[in-house]
Amino acid sequence: MLTNPGTAPNQGSAGGDTQPLADRVRPRTIEDFIGQAHLREKIDAVMNADRLPSMLLYGPPGCGKSTLALLLARHSGLPYIRVSAPEAGISSLRKRLQGMQLLILDELHRFSKAQQDFFLPILENGEMTLIATTTENPSFSITRQLLSRLHVLRLEAHTRHDLMDVARRGLKRLEIEVPDETLHLLTKLAQGDARSLLNLIEYLAELPEDHRDPEHLKGLLPDIVLRHDKAGDSHYDLASAMIKSIRGSDPDAAVYYLACLLEGGEDPRFVCRRLILSAGEDIGLADPNALQMAVACQQAVEFVGMPEGFIPMSECAVYLALAKKSNSTYEAYHRAAAEVRKNGAKPVPLHIRNAATQQMKEWGYGKGYKYPHNFPGAWVAQEYLPDELQGRSFYHAKDQGEEPKLSAPWKAHLRKK
C-alpha cells in the first residue's frame, strides 16, 4: 500500500466512513497515541533529536507499529512515502523513492535477504531515513548488516486497559454506546490487537441495539480463530513453551501448548520434529522408548494426516511429559564437541583403524585389536579414545529411569580397566 508523500490518512467526514474504523481513529499526534508506556521516554528522545534515526519497530499485529511510524514521519517534516513490502519490488521502489527522504516500510521481513541489502548503501550515506515495521523476531528475519544500522524498538501487545481506551475512541467515532460488559468481551477476544478490536466494534455497530449485550454477541460474532503467526514469534514461543513444559514434566501445559500450535494452523511436521528432539534431548536413556514413541508419532501423523493427527501427537506429548528425564547423552555430545572445537580431532588409535588394504596392514592399521565378541560378556579391556584423551569422560550417567540399569555394565567395565 502506498500513501501520498507527507499526507495523513483521511480523518475528515467526506468519504471518511468508507475507511476502516482503525484508519478513521488513527491518532494524529503522539499525545493521542495509546499504549507502549515502556517506550515513551525513548519515543520522546527520538522525536526531540536533531535528526530522526533509521528505526525498526518490532511487535505483534495491531500494537501500533505503523501508527507510530506515521507519527514519527510527520513530526520529522521530511517528505515521506509509505510502502508495504509484499506489494513492492526493488525496481519499482527505486522509482517511488525519487524525491523522498524518508521511507516507511511495513513488513520488512517479507523482503528477502538480498532485497534487504538494497537499503545498506542508502542508509550508510544518509541518503534516506528508514522506519520499518515487522511482526517477526528481527534476530531471525533481518540481516545482521541491516539490523546494525537500525535502532530497534520492541512494541508490546496492548493491555486490556489500553484496549478499553481504543474501544471507547472507536465507539465515540461511530456515535454508539455499548455496555462495559460487552467491551470487556471484545477486548478479551482481541487478544491485545487494537485493529482486531476495532474491526469487532465495526461489526457490532451493524447489529440491532438489543443484540449488543454479551449473551447475544457470543452467538452472533464471527468465529474467532486463535491468533498464531506460524511464521512469526509465536511460532517459536509456543514451540519453546511446549518443549519446556515437557522438560518440566507438566503434561497439562505440554498438551495445552500443543493445542495452541495445532489450532493456530502450525505444520504438524514441525511439531513432530520438536517432539522427536525433545525425546532425545530431555528424556534420553532415562526412557529409551520415548524416542521410539516420538518417531512412531511422526509416522502416524504422516499416515493419518490432519485433523486426526492430533491424537498421536497428544499421546506423545503427554508421554514425554510423564517420562523420566535425563539429558546425559545431549550433554555428552556437547562435551565431546567442545573438545573437538578447542583442540581438533585427534588421530584414531591404530588398533581400531580399518585395515582395508594390505598396505594399511603393513602400516599397523588394526594391529592388536581385540574383538569383544571373542571374550566373556562381549567385553575386553582396551582403549578406544585417542592417546591424548585417554581417561577423559564425556558421558556422565544419571540416576533416572532406565539409565542406571543401562549404564551399570559400562560402569563395571570401567572399574576393571
Indicate yes or no: pTM above 0.75: no
**CA–CA dist 130, 146 (Å, integer):** 11
pLDDT digits (tens, 9 = 90+) for 317-369: 999 999 999 999 999 999 999 999 988 988 888 988 888 888 888 888 888 89
Kindly report the CATH number that applies to the domain delimited by 233-322.
1.20.272.10
Pairing outcome for strands 55-58 and 129-134: parallel
Please check the confidence at residue 1 and state whether its pLDDT lies above 50. no
Name the residue among 220, 216, 209 with its Cα closest to residue 174: 209
The CATH T-level fold of domain 347-416 is: post-AAA+ oligomerization domain-like (1.10.3710)
Residue appearing with cell numbers 506429548 = 317
Band the pLDDT of 222: cuts 50, 70, 90.
Answer: low
**CA–CA dist 269, 228 (Å, integer):** 17
Least confident of 231-240, 303-312, 392-401: 231-240
The rounded radius of gyration (Å) of the Cα atoms in the chain is: 30
pLDDT digits (tens, 9 = 90+) for 76-112: 999 999 998 888 778 888 888 888 999 999 999 988 8
Kindly report the CATH number that applies to the domain delimited by 16-154.
3.40.50.300
Q: How far is CA 328 from CA 70, 247, 297, 395, in A?
A: 53, 14, 23, 6
Does a cis peptide bond (omega within 30 degrees of 0) precede residue 307?
Answer: yes
Tell me how crowded residue 370 is: count the other CB atoms within 10 A of its CB. 12
154, β-bridge pairs: 58
**CA–CA dist 116, 396 (Å, integer):** 46
8 compared with 262, residue with greater pLDDT? 262
CA angle in degrees (0–180, nearest 5) for 193-191-45: 45
Q: How far is CA 330 from CA 262, 282, 320, 401, in A?
A: 28, 8, 16, 16
pLDDT for position 314: 96
- What would the mean pLDDT of 157-179 be, rounded to a whole number? 91
pLDDT for position 233: 57
